[in-house]
Structure 1
Amino acid sequence: MNVLNNKPMLCLWVCAASLSGCFDGNDNNTAMTPMPEPEPEPLMVSYEVTVDNLTQGQPLSPITLILHSEGTLWEIGQPASVALEKVAESGDNEDLLVLDMAMASASGEGLTMPGNAQTITINIEDVTNAYLSVAAMLGKSNDAFTGLNAQGLAGLMVGESWTLFTNAYDAGTEANTEDMASIGAVGGEGFSEVRDDARNMVTMHPGIVSVDDGLATSALTQEQRFDNPVARIRITRTQ
C-alpha cells in the first residue's frame, strides 16, 4: 500500500474527524429563544365620590355609583327602567348595582340625612374614560330621585376634583299623591309593580305640595319641600 499516494484522503479523514469531535450540539452562535415579556401590572383607577344632601327634610336613600362605557340610567321623556323605579319608589338599589352595563358599582351605607354628606369609593382596572352615574331616592316622596347621568370622566386627572349640583327628577312611575299609603318612609307602600302615573316617563320633579300648602291628604309637611339643586356631588380621582 502506498501511504504517500493516500495522503490527501488521510488528511480529509483527519480533518473531518476533528470537526466531528469539536461539534457537541451546543453551537454558541445559535440564537437564544427570547424570554416572554412579563404581563403589565393592571392600572388601578380610583374615585372618591362625596354626596352632600342640600335639602332641609329629605333623606337620601343609599347612594348608588356605577361606572360604565355606554348607556344611561335614565332619559327625560322616556319610561324609567324597573331598576331605577325601585330606587325612586323605595330606595332599593340592588338591581341598579348589577346592571349589565355596569363595569363597576358601589353603594353607600344607610341614609344620607339633610345637611349631611357621605363619601363612597369606587375602583376599576385599566379604564380612565368611563362614565359615572349616580342615583338616590328622595326618601319622603312618591318617586323622586336625584343623581348624575353618564358623567364622562376622561378629563379628570389624578388629584383633581370636579363638583356638580344635581336636581330632583320624577320617575313617572307613581302618582304624586303624597298620601300615607304610598310613601314607604312614612309607613306606606314602597315599590309597586303597578305604575299608576299616567305619564310613565322621567321628568323634572314638580316639587312637594305638603299638607301645609293645601294638599289635605298629604302625609308630608313643609319641611319636606325642596328647591333645586337638592345635592352636591364632588368627584375626586385618587389613583
Structure 2
Amino acid sequence: MTTKLPAAVRDRALQIAHHEMGHYVVARALGFETGGVTLTVTKDLRHQGGASITLVRPISSMEAMKEHLEARMMVLLAGAMAQTLPSKPSAAKRVDKPKATAILKGEQGAEQDYAKIRELQHLLRNIAYPDTDPASGERIAAELKSMTDRVWIRTQEIIEDQAGTIAKLALALVDGMALVEQWGRAADTYEVVFAGPMLERLRAVQAIASINIGSPEKSRHVFET
C-alpha cells in the first residue's frame, strides 16, 4: 500500500513510524511488556501515533526503582532519537542529536515525552542524591545533567545498534496503511494498527535481545534540560 500513499504523506508516516517503533523496540529490549502500535496521518500531514507499553513491573528495592526510572526515561527518549534516523537504506544509521532534542522540546509533537522525562529525572535525582541542599541550584543542575547525559548516551547506543530493526518495523507499519472511509465526508486519513500479538509473530520482533541498562564507558554533555 505504500506506493498508493502521496509522497508527502509517506514521508511523514515513515518519520512517525520510526518514532513509535523506537519506543517499542527499546521498551522490549529493556524488559517492558509491549502491546500494539498505531499510526494515523491525514492528507494535510496531521499525525498521531502510539506504542502500547505496560509499566507494571516488580520493584523490590531502591536500586530496582532507580533502574526502572532510567529504563523508562530511555524508552521516552527513544522515540525522538529513532525519528531522526535516515530512511534511505544506504545512509549511516546515526542519531541526529540536535534534531532529536528539538523534537523532544516540542517542534514536532513529542513535548509530552519531554515533560515526562523532566519529571522522572528529578525523581531519579532525588533518590540518587537524597542529601542535596534544595538551595544548591548549581549542584542540582550538575547532578541532573550528569544523569540525563548518561541515559541519553545509553539510549543512543541502543537506537543505533537496533536501527535496522526499527527501520524494518517502521516500513512494515507504513506498508500496512490504508485510506479510511469517512461516513458522510471525503476520506482524508491513512491509518494502520499493528496489534500486539501480530507484532509478536514477526521475526524482527522475536530477534530483539534483552539489554542491561549498564553504564557507558564515557560521558559527555549531550542534552540541555
TM-score when normalising by structure 2: 0.25
Q: Identify, as 1 or 2, the structure richer in strand.
A: 1
The structure whose RCO (Cα within 8 Å, separation 6+) is larger is 2
TM-score when normalising by structure 1: 0.24
